């Protein structure tokens, strides 16, 4: 078991990673002094560990469709009926959409009640459940309403990952791959628990420096400017991690075109992404002009087109990248039919799994 501390000025917690760490839940709840717990779970009851206190178990569904203010309101209504107080605890068990919506309900209920996350997907373990960002969607877009609400503990039980479908694993591997370019060591070839621990450690150090995402936390969005655009351009046929993977390859191509890195480093982007079995090409269906338009609307684009790009001093946020340079770099990317990219991703995931065994 690995324990990664996350130390903030007024709140600290540990992220536990390893097989069976979910059984630490009762000890975490005991230390919080909670007398009641509400567990909101998108997984079967047998996946939810004992809390050690009187517990209300509420079913949830992973997926963007339930990441709404209506879900937050319904959860808070259940908290009231159960008699949950500010000294009790809310527990989330599920993928990143579940930890996001439950985290927001915990942030708002009684102006904030402790929350413990039990992320069950690789994406949620390496990224979504750590760092305190919670949010729901509006019809106008994803994650438009949210709050920073740090959990009291995160239990990344790697036993949960054994049943994940290949594409769900890829979703998390996209975030692990991008760590290569924002300060992590080379994680290729390491056992999954070590890759998770290294990714979480990197994220914890970044969040400690910039909890509210006003500076260095932008680094976590490596590959995301194009990644978000690709998710939308493909109507979410490309999963988040797959889109971030293509966005990471593109970040290399763009940094190369801007003279920030040499050709070997550009190629390293492709090699790392390919190693994890992730797609490296743009879908032929996504037209360059449409992608540029979507990137202009990305919420990270504060003034003009902004990308986190590698460079002589490492990765940094580069604002106002000329639109022509972006379009030109997009045109230099290899293209493949979307169906092939998704198929390649599934085959790639099985190959990577076999290689790891
Ligand atoms: N997922 C990016 C962040 O937590 O800032």
Domain assignment present for residue 201? The answer is: no
Check whether residue 22 and residue 132 sit in a common domain.
yes
Domain assignment present for residue 137? The answer is: yes
Check whether residue 148 and residue 7 sit in a common domain.
yes
Pocket test for ligand 1, best of 199, 217, 240 (most atoms within 8 A of CB): 217
Q: CA–CA separation, 66 vs 30, rounded Å?
A: 30
Res 257: pLDDT? 97
Domain assignment present for residue 84? The answer is: yes
* 92: CATH: 3.40.50.1970
Closest among 3, 1, 97, 88 to 38, alpha carbons compared = 88
| pLDDT tens string 303-327 | 569 999 999 999 999 998 999 999 9
Res 8: pLDDT? 97
Domain assignment present for residue 203? The answer is: no
Domain assignment present for residue 90? The answer is: yes
Res 34: pLDDT? 98
Q: Closest residue (by CA) to atom 3 of ligand 1?
A: 220
Q: CA–CA separation, 357 vs 60, rounded Å?
A: 33
Asked whether 78 lines ligand 1 (CB < 6 A), one says no
Check whether residue 127 and residue 171 sit in a common domain.
no
* Segments in the chain below pLDDT 50: 350-357
Which residues, at least 6 apart from 219, have a Cβ–Cβ distance to it below 8 Å?
Answer: 182, 183, 206, 308, 315, 316, 317
Pocket test for ligand 1, best of 135, 205, 221, 315 (most atoms within 8 A of CB): 221
DSSP 8-state assignment for residue 62: -
Q: 10 Å Cβ neighbour count for 12?
A: 12
Check whether residue 148 and residue 293 sit in a common domain.
no
Check whether residue 101 and residue 125 sit in a common domain.
yes
Three-state DSSP at 322 gives: coil
Three-state DSSP at 169 gives: helix
Strand 54-59 versus strand 36-41 pairing type: parallel
Check whether residue 10 and residue 92 sit in a common domain.
yes
Check whether residue 80 and residue 143 sit in a common domain.
yes
Q: From the CA of 170, how far away is ligand 1's center (Å)? A: 18
CA atoms lying within 13 Å on the CB side of residue 28: 26
Check whether residue 107 and residue 171 sit in a common domain.
no
Q: From the CA of 78, how far away is ligand 1's center (Å)? A: 29
Domain carrying residue 265? 167-182+222-356
* 237: CATH: 1.20.1090.10
DSSP H helical ranges for 44-91: 69-82
- 167: tokens are 């594409």
Strand 133-138 versus strand 115-119 pairing type: unpaired
Rounded to 10 degrees, what is the CA torsion of 186, 191, 195, 201?
-110
Res 140: pLDDT? 85
Res 141: pLDDT? 85
Check whether residue 104 and residue 245 sit in a common domain.
no
Q: How many independent structural domains does the chain possess?
A: 2
Check whether residue 107 and residue 175 sit in a common domain.
no
- 295: tokens are 């990137």
Check whether residue 122 and residue 176 sit in a common domain.
no
Res 353: pLDDT? 39
Three-state DSSP at 318 gives: strand
- Model pTM? 0.93
Domain assignment present for residue 195? The answer is: no
Which residues, at least 6 apart from 10, have a Cβ–Cβ distance to it below 8 Å?
Answer: none
Res 225: pLDDT? 95
Element (H, E) at 13: strand 12-18
Check whether residue 332 and residue 227 sit in a common domain.
yes
Domain assignment present for residue 187? The answer is: no
Asked whether 127 lines ligand 1 (CB < 6 A), one says yes
Domain assignment present for residue 208? The answer is: no
């Amino acid at each position: 078991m690995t324990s990664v501390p996350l130390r903030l000025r007024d709140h600290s917690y540990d992220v536990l990673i390893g097989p069976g760490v979910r059984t630490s839940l009762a000890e975490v709840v005991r230390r919080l002094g909670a007398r009641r717990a509400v567990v909101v779970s998108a997984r079967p009851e047998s996946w939810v560990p004992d809390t050690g206190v009187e517990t209300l178990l509420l079913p949830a569904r992973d997926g963007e469709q339930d990441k709404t203010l209506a879900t937050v309101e319904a959860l808070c209504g259940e908290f009231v009926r159960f008699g949950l107080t500010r000294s009790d605890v809310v527990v989330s068990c599920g993928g990143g959409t579940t930890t996001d919506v439950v985290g927001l309900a915990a942030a708002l209920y009684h102006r904030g009640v402790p929350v413990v996350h039990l992320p069950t997907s690789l994406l949620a373990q390496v990224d979504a459940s750590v760092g305190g960002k919670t949010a729901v969607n509006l019809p106008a877009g994803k994650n438009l309403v949210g709050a920073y609400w740090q959990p009291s503990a995160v239990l990344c039980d790697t036993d949960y990952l054994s049943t994940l479908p290949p594409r769900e694993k890829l979703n998390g591997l996209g975030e692990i791959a991008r760590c290569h370019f924002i300060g992590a060591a080379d994680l290729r070839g390491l056992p999954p628990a070590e890759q998770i621990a290294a990714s979480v450690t990197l994220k914890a150090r970044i969040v400690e420096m910039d909890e509210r995402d006003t500076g260095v936390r932008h680094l976590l969005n490596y590959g995301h400017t194009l990644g978000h655009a690709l998710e939308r351009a493909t109507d979410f046929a490309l999963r988040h991690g797959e889109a971030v993977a293509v966005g990471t390859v593109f970040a290399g191509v763009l940094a190369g075109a801007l003279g920030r890195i040499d050709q070997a480093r550009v190629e390293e982007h492709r090699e790392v992404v390919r190693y994890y079995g992730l797609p490296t090409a743009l879908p032929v269906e996504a037209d360059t002009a449409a992608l540029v338009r979507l990137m202009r609307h990305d919420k990270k684009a504060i003034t003009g087109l902004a990308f986190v790009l590698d460079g002589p001093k490492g990765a940094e946020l580069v604002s106002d990248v000329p639109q022509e340079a972006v379009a030109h770099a997009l045109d230099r990317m290899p293209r493949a039919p979307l169906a092939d990219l998704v198929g390649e991703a599934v085959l790639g995931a099985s190959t990577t799994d076999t290689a790891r065994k």
